[in-house]
Every structure is written in C-alpha cells, then in structure tokens.
Amino acid sequence: MQSIIRNSISCSGITLLFFSSLFLLFVTPLSANAAQKGSYSLGFKGGTYSPGPELASDGFDSGYANEFFFNFVPIDNLSVEAGTGYFETRAEDSGNFSSDEETLRADYIILSLKGIISISRADIGLGGGVGTYYVQGEFKRSSSTQRDSDSDRSTVLAYHASVDITIHFTRRFFMTIEDRYIRGQNIERTYSVLGKEFKRSTRLDGNIIVFSLGFGF
C-alpha cells in the first residue's frame, strides 16, 4: 500500500510539473536559449525510477531517483553532460511462515551526449550515454521466531537513451523534464540468511523520469 501511495504521489507531482512547465513556456518573456558554444550549467534532478520487466517480475517497485549534473556545450546545439546520483527499488514477498524483503540501491556515475533543438524558450534534447552503477543489495528474511539479513555489492555497466524538454525562464535559470531509459548487465548478488544461501541475477534496466532545476553560466 505504501508503494502504491508513493508511486501515485510521484506520478501526480511529475504530471503537475509537466503542465506547469507548458504554462510557463507561454507566459514567461522570451529569453535566449542556453545551447550555445561555450555555455555550461549545473543543477539537481529528482524523480522516480521504474524497474524494467525482469526486476518488475521479481516484485520490485518504483522508487525515488536523485542526481546532480554538470552540462557543457562544446559546439552549438550539442552538449556533454556528466551526472552522479542514485535510485532505489524494493521487493517484498510474504508467505505463510516467513516474509522476505530485498532492497537494491544503485549509486551511479554517467556520461551523456545530447543533440539539442531550440524552439523559442524551449530546448528539446535527444541523447544517450554510458554509466557505471554500484549496486548495494540487502536481503531480509523474517519469521515468527527468527530474523536475519545479509548484503552484497555488484558493479554494473549500462547504457542509456533519453529525451528531455528544457524551459528557459532567464538566460541563467531553467527547468527540465527528462525521461531516460537504462539497460545494463545483470546484477549478481549472493545472500546468506538463516543458514541458507540465495543467489540472484537480474538485469538492470528501467526508466528514470526526473524534473530538474538548473543554472547556466
């Protein structure tokens, strides 16, 4: 139930921000876009991570995603962006005699290349890139008489593709809505809980939808 409420709040917030940005696009004064050679920007992104088919089939739900980014435009309408952040996803399974919970947290560093199309106050970005994801897994098993947990780490390489729209309020201040698809290697993890060993392997994939505020220089 908490997962459903959390996902509903996140989706409602992103929807509100999307329509707010469209409104502001038409009411704010015209300002020059920032996709010009030599410009750079930085900011913070926040939103949700939704797991792909393999993780979803194992019961993992959507979770929060956060990221700090730095963007540089080496030539007009082409940007290079570096980002570091994390996202988290959780799965729960309850049986007659025990309940299991597994949490995966991915801390990552990514590098992206984006082509930019400027339309009035807005920039539309299409891009892709690669990243390294440091995944921390934690598994808990509880019964009426016992409780135990274990953790494991895995490093995963993944590529991503993204589309975003940026609204410029001024030459220096902007906001962006981004949809990013990621697909990577399998997350290998081994847990030893209550005298039993569990080996799991699931592909890292899914969508990250984030809203960001940034400042250009």
Q: How many CA atoms lie within 13 A of 112 on its CB side?
A: 27
Non-local CB neighbours of 47 within 8 Å, separated by 6+ positions? 10, 14, 64, 65, 208, 209, 210, 211
Local structure of residue 22 (DSSP, 8 states): H
More confident residue, 34 or 52: 52
* DSSP of 107-132: EEEEEEEEEEEEETTEEEEEEEEEEE
Q: What is the CATH number of the domain that holds 176?
A: 2.40.160.20
Residue % of the chain over a pLDDT of 70: 83
Look up the pTM and report it. Answer: 0.83
For the chain, the domain total comes to 1
Q: What is the pLDDT of residue 8?
A: 46
Which H or E run contains 194?
none
Map tokens 């992206």 to a residue. 112
Q: Measured in whole angstroms, how far is the alpha carbon of residue 189 from the centre of its chain?
A: 21
Average pLDDT over every residue of 67-89: 95
Q: What's the pLDDT tens digit per position in 175-211?
A: 999 999 999 999 999 999 988 898 999 999 999 999 9
Q: What is the pLDDT of residue 26?
A: 53
Q: What's the pLDDT tens digit per position in 90-129?
A: 999 877 677 889 999 999 999 999 999 988 788 999 999 9
Q: Output the six-digit token pair for 159.
A: 């590529």
Non-local CB neighbours of 19 within 8 Å, separated by 6+ positions? none
61: three-class secondary structure by DSSP: coil
CA-CA distance, 82 to 22, in Å (whole number)?
A: 26
More confident residue, 6 or 193: 193
Question: What is the extent of the structural domain holding 24?
Answer: 2-216
CA-CA distance, 173 to 65, in Å (whole number)?
A: 22
Q: What is the pLDDT of residue 94?
A: 79
Residue 92: name the closest of 78, 102, 105 by CA: 102
CA-CA distance, 76 to 135, in Å (whole number)?
A: 36
Flag whether pLDDT at 1 surpasses 50: no
Map tokens 């409420």 to a residue. 5
Q: What is the pLDDT of residue 3?
A: 46
